[in-house]
Amino acid sequence: MIGIIGGGVWGTALAKLFSDKEVLIYARDQKVVDSINDHHFNPKLKYAVLNKNVQATNNLEEISKKEFIFIALPSQEIRSVFESQHFKNNKSNYIIASKGIEIESTLLLSDIIRSLTNYKSINILSGPCFSDEVAQNLPTAVTFAGDNNKTYRSISTLLKNKRFRMYFTDDVVGCQIGGALKNIYAIAAGISDGLNLGENARSALITRSFVEITRFADYFRAKKETLFGLSGLGDLILTCNSSKSRNTEFGIKIANTKPENYIDILKSQQITEGYYTVKAVNIISEKNSINMPIMKSVYNILHNHHNIEKEIEELLSRPLTEEKI
């Protein structure tokens, strides 16, 4: 009934969450598949002991036949997986639990799935949640977005865990934007922490980052109230205030690192989505004249190798203006 594409920490946490039912995880790594099937354990997620309802496979045809398919892949890898012919033949309900925007096409993840699959419904699961805490059954609240609430009702019925709360919205676009862009600003928050700029600076940074997210969302005609909810402001607050975030951790590490060493840091940790998403957001913002100075500074630091202190100085030297959200 339930398939999960992605054998990492998030995919495994989701599998544990729905393990009252039969769950099949797709993973490319044969060691992960064997560990889940033989020992009910994914070595990538130390907190999760899985029951016998959770099995794993590296066969895409097998996973494509599931009625509900959760996508927990790095955003830039989604297209390569779903170009498989298996997804053109089977109608499934897709729940995108990944966060990002494709660089090459600048498409939202829902648009990628829409173009490549014979879908029954396309939905989004997003919000402030660390995988390890979900796996530990700690209280968590997220947003579930879909064009209608039919799949939401079905998933809610399958979910027996009362500590994982899902709130519904029909704003598929807004739900994705909040989840994707917060990773960019978490890198900025990490840089601020790494340079010991203080609590005042982080608070101001998060607030002004939220303004930029709402500007971007407004261009896509997303609902502003979605951005003030769990998948927007909630996710931004969590990610920017915790060193458990890979994006924040990356920002802390690069604050006092030479640009030529950024790639080595990226390779040393799990996927840092903000590093890639900022490329797509920069393209969109430049093309459509969306004013996003903090995002632009992060882009310049990461991809143009601008001096961090000079970028901060430019941000602080911007003309004062009226506060609007």
- Confidence (pLDDT) at 321: 83
Mean pLDDT of 88-108: 95
Burial of 197 (0-12, 13-18, 19+ CB in 10 A): middle
Sheet with 140-146: list strands edge to edge: 54-57, 23-26, 2-5, 68-71, 93-96, 121-126, 140-146, 164-169
Mean pLDDT of 233-261: 95
Q: Tell me if 144 sits within 8 A of 155, measured CB to CB.
A: yes
One-letter amino acid identity for 88?
K
pTM: 0.96
- Confidence (pLDDT) at 29: 94
The full set of domains in the chain, from first to last, is 2-170 (3.40.50.720), 180-316 (1.10.1040.10)
Give which of 316, 320, 100, 138 is closest to 244, Cα–Cα: 138
% of residues, the chain, pLDDT over 90: 94
The residues near 278 (Cβ < 8 Å, ≥ 6 apart) are 184, 187, 295, 298, 299, 302, 303
pLDDT interval class at 243 (50, 70, 90): confident
Instruction: Dump pLDDT digits (tens) for 195-216.
Output: 999 999 999 999 999 999 999 9
- Confidence (pLDDT) at 148: 93
The residues near 264 (Cβ < 8 Å, ≥ 6 apart) are none
- Confidence (pLDDT) at 253: 96
Match 């045809």 to its residue by tokens.
61
Q: Which two tokens stand for residue 313?
A: 């100085």
Rounded CA-CA distance 95/129 in Å is 16
Active site residues: 182
Instruction: Dump pLDDT digits (tens) for 263-292.
Output: 999 999 989 999 999 999 999 999 999 999
Mean pLDDT of 255-269: 94
Phi, then psi, of 62 in degrees rounded to 5? -65, -45
Mean pLDDT of 10-21: 96
Q: For the chain, give the mean pLDDT.
A: 95
- Confidence (pLDDT) at 320: 78
Instruction: Dump pLDDT digits (tens) for 21-54.
Output: 999 999 999 999 999 999 999 999 987 899 999 9
> Quick check: 10 pLDDT over 80?
yes
Instruction: Dump pLDDT digits (tens) for 137-183.
Output: 999 999 999 999 999 999 999 998 999 999 999 999 999 999 999 99
Mean pLDDT of 50-65: 96
Match 């989004």 to its residue by tokens.
124
- Can you say how many angstroms the Cα of residue 322 is from the centroid of all Cα atoms in its chain? 32
The residues near 65 (Cβ < 8 Å, ≥ 6 apart) are 3, 90, 92
168 strand-pairing partners: 144
